Structure 1
Amino acid sequence: MTPFDRPPVGMNLGRTAKLVAQAFDAALVEAGGTLPVWLTLLSVKSSKLANQRELAGMIGIQGATLTHHLNAMETQGLLTRRRDPVNRRVHLVELTEAGEAMFETLRKAALVFDKRLRVGLPDERLAEFAQVLAVLRANVES
């Protein structure tokens, strides 16, 4: 068997990641959200009074892109932003009641999707898969 008898690992991983991401986004849309909204809500929820720079880093997007998402989410009543009293250049982001409710709705959708994704995979195989992913990440980071 030659290396060209099967798709390269990176190509297979890329195709799979794209398909899974599209299906996850569709599940979030069906629940009334989007992937950027979910990632933002999750990041704000996991770090009380996060500032915008920290949020952008947690989500892995540029500050300007985050600002666009935060503006829309603030208009929808999902979160509030206020100046940090210690450093007026920093905006602190908090979820509103509507944001908390949307977080819970999207959390449930994410859990249902994760359960669907894991069908047929025993815990041992998932643990092994997580190790393989860690090695792949380490290989591209070095």
Structure 2
Amino acid sequence: MTRRDLAAMIAPLQRALIAAEMPVLRAHGLSMWGYVVLSALDSEPIRTQAALAEFIGADKSRIIGVLDELEDQGFLQRTRDPADRRARLLAITDEGRRKRNAVQAEIQRNEDRLLGRLPLDDRSAFLRALATLSALPPQ
């Protein structure tokens, strides 16, 4: 017996997960890209807008509006890089970290309900496999 392609199995799951995240994000006043940016800034030492765009796979010009919104909400700070006045250094604020953590906790509570459909051993194996495969470098 042949199995379905991985993308054919993962794509519907990804769409369902994103759809489940949207009401959570709206309730917290964040866009999906805003959440992605806060998560990236909270987990990695990303210093510049260009490095952030590359890290999250977004066009540099695409994230400027997202950064403006997050800065206006007090969730991140941008300062001029003293070594390169054209560059902006990014830092998540304490309020941005609180917002990101609250959103992530709510999203993961929803995910836990979904994962609850799997037996505990299968759930643990699925999460380990997903962590391994998602950490692979792009080919």
Gap change, CA 1:12 and 1:90, over 3 Å in 2: same
TM-score after normalising by structure 1: 0.74
CA contact (8 A) 1:53 1:63 kept: yes
Q: Which residue of the other structure, out of 42, 65, 70, is the alignment partner of 1:45? A: 42
Query: Is 2:73 the partner of 1:73?
Result: no
* Alpha carbons of structure 1 residues 137 and 47: separation in structure 2 relative to 1, 3 Å: closer
Rg larger in 1 or in 2?
Answer: 1
Amino acid at match of 1:119: G
2:53 aligns with: 56
Give, in angstroms, the shift of residue 63 of structure 1.
0.9
- In structure 2, do the counterparts of structure 1 residues 9 and 112 end up closer, same or farther at CA, with 3 Å as the change threshold? same
Q: In the alignment, is residue 22 of structure 1 matched against residue 40 of structure 2?
A: no
Paired AA for residue 36 in structure 2? L
Q: What are the ranges of 5 or more consecutive residues in structure 1 without an aligned counterpart?
A: none
Question: What RMSD, in angstroms, separates the aligned Cα atoms of the two structures?
Answer: 2.9
| 18-27 or 117-126: bigger deviation | 117-126
1:1-142 aligned at under 5 Å gives the runs 9-48=6-45, 50-129=47-126, 130-131=128-129
Q: How many residues align?
A: 137
Runs of 4 or more, structure 1, over 6 Å off, are: 135-138
**CA–CA distance in 2 between the matches of 1:24 and 1:42?**
14
CA distance in 2, matches of 1:114, 1:28: 14
Q: Give the SS at the match of 1:50.
A: coil
Per the TM alignment, residue 60 of structure 1 is displaced from its structure 2 partner at its CA by: 1.8
Matched position secondary structure for 1:89: strand
